Structure 1
Amino acid sequence: MDKIRLLIISEDSSARRGLSAIFASGNTFDVLGGFSLDRAGEKSVILQPDVVLLDISGDISEYLPKTSQLKEKCPCSLVIALVENEHCSNLNDVLAQGIDGCVPRGIMRGCLVNTVELACRAGIFCLPGSYKKKMVWSEIEKKNRLERPGNGSTVSGETLTRREMEILHLMAQTLSNRDIATKLFISEPTVKTHVSSILRKLGQNNRVQAIIYSYKTGLVNEPLLAHN
């Protein structure tokens, strides 16, 4: 199998030397050299590497214009950025410039080598775990803001009825269908029908998920007194 041709970009000369040594120690990579950001464009055009490892430090905005130019000049080269955790809030901007993956700078050297190899051989798209968690919670919060009721809004856009809200609050108190039926003086099959409707409207697969979702979105805060 051919070696992966790697070019390293970093403003820190010691980092360039260290990264070069890490990737040159095995038989997987052919390290083409380490260069500063100013020289990277020229060298990349000449060498056309398989992958560019971009070490981002300091103000991330300083890298964006040149990163975009680099991708234009070397469209077939993968660009993988080494980033600090504090850069995660700006990674959307970095990814928009054509970056093919981001790896935390503190990653163990063996994991770094394996990650870059997987990105090249298997097309794996890599992101720091802290960034992925941030994006997941950001999406949850956005969803919650859009769906937070007060008016009974739900995932599907359908509104829970008064009876369904009563049953949802009783579900949140961990009452069984039988207990709910007894409390509301209705039949157990009727409760099951309401529960199925609640799960469908909330877009949840089971009672536990529905209860957790309801607390997160504010559908359930304080117990609601049930009425016939």
Structure 2
Amino acid sequence: MSDARTDGTPTTPGRTRVLLADDQALLRMGFRLVLEAEDDLEVVGEAGDGLEAVQLTAQLRPDVVLMDVRMPGLNGIEATERVVASGSATRVLILTTFDLDEYAFAALRAGASGFMLKAARPAELVSAIRAVATGDAVVSPRVTRRMLEMFSDALPAAGQPVPAPHPARALLAQLTAREAEVLGAVAEGLSNNEIALRLYLSEATVKTHVGRILAKLGVRDRVQAVVLAYETGLVGR
């Protein structure tokens, strides 16, 4: 099932190394053709199921895993959880045919750095991989809106008891007012450039704020920061 580069062939420095995980060989071939047409991307291996994806991630240490959701044995969500739990620096971009919110939420909670549909155009896929590799988030505006709706719906109605504060609220208290403002904008799905324009900051300053936010919250990337922002009620109230 695998087509991993394990023969000692050196990879090209400066390229983003990608592992393809999908149970359909023809789709993997298509993805490979698209990605290897780009000078800065390199496919270093292929996995036909979730368990193989986890094993090859540990072995090959790719920058990004392009992970299908529905695979035999270990599915893509569980595979993502294992990759993240291992402490790997590899980032996971979920790619699925099924435009269902529960897949998006499960993938993001599992630690995925992005969620895209297989119907995405090749240019969108390439752009998403590059973004994820640099620590950015890839979550469609539709998914962001649904996250806002879901967590808003979960808030207690008038007269109902207010639940205990989320344990991560103490972490949010460490953020400065500006950092909280930046996190709110990130949770809206805005890019660093869009945040810079809104807050009248340089893009470099926004990147610095985002880096400090991730460190203070103890999360690995922007997506996890967004999930935390919704779960704790920082946004959506």
TM exceeding 0.5:
yes
Question: Residue 3 of structure 1 aligns with which residue?
Answer: 15
Conserved? CA contact 2:22–2:71, under 8 Å: no
Conserved? CA contact 2:107–2:115, under 8 Å: no
Q: Percent identity?
A: 17
Question: Residue 133 of structure 2 aligns with which residue?
Answer: 120
| Structure 1: tracts of 5 or more residues without a match | 149-228
Conserved? CA contact 1:5–1:49, under 8 Å: yes
Q: CA deviation at 1:77?
A: 0.5
Conserved? CA contact 1:53–1:81, under 8 Å: yes
Conserved? CA contact 1:85–1:130, under 8 Å: no
Bigger Cα Rg: 1
Conserved? CA contact 1:20–1:33, under 8 Å: no
Which secondary structure does the structure 2 equivalent of 1:146 belong to? coil
Question: Residue 31 of structure 2 aligns with which residue?
Answer: 19
1:64 is the counterpart of 2:77: yes
Amino acid at match of 1:146: A
CA displacement, residues 39-97 of structure 1 (integer Å, 9 cap, x when unaligned): 222222111111111022379x8333332222334611011111345331233222222
Which secondary structure does the structure 2 equivalent of 1:33 belong to? strand
Conserved? CA contact 1:104–1:128, under 8 Å: no
Conserved? CA contact 1:8–1:35, under 8 Å: yes
CA displacement, residues 124-174 of structure 1 (integer Å, 9 cap, x when unaligned): 11113332222223344445x6249xxxxxxxxxxxxxxxxxxxxxxxxxx
Question: Residue 212 of structure 2 aligns with which residue?
Answer: none
Which of 87, 96, 104 is equivalent to 1:91?
104
Conserved? CA contact 1:52–1:80, under 8 Å: yes
Question: Residue 148 of structure 2 aligns with which residue?
Answer: 136
1:78 is the counterpart of 2:75: no
Q: CA deviation at 1:14?
A: 0.8
1:33 is the counterpart of 2:63: no
* Alpha-carbon distance between aligned partners in 2 of 1:118 and 1:63, rounded to the nearest angstrom: 20
After TM superposition, the score normalised by the length of structure 1 is 0.56
After TM superposition, the score normalised by the length of structure 2 is 0.54
Conserved? CA contact 2:45–2:56, under 8 Å: no
* Alpha-carbon distance between aligned partners in 1 of 2:71 and 2:54, rounded to the nearest angstrom: 20
Conserved? CA contact 2:67–2:76, under 8 Å: no
Q: Which has the larger helix fraction?
A: 1
Aligned residues: 147
* Alpha-carbon distance between aligned partners in 2 of 1:118 and 1:41, rounded to the nearest angstrom: 22
Alignment of 1:67-216 (within 5 A): 67-73=80-86, 75-121=88-134, 123-142=135-154, 146-147=157-158
Conserved? CA contact 1:80–1:101, under 8 Å: yes
| Structure 2: tracts of 5 or more residues without a match | 1-12, 160-237
Conserved? CA contact 1:52–1:77, under 8 Å: yes
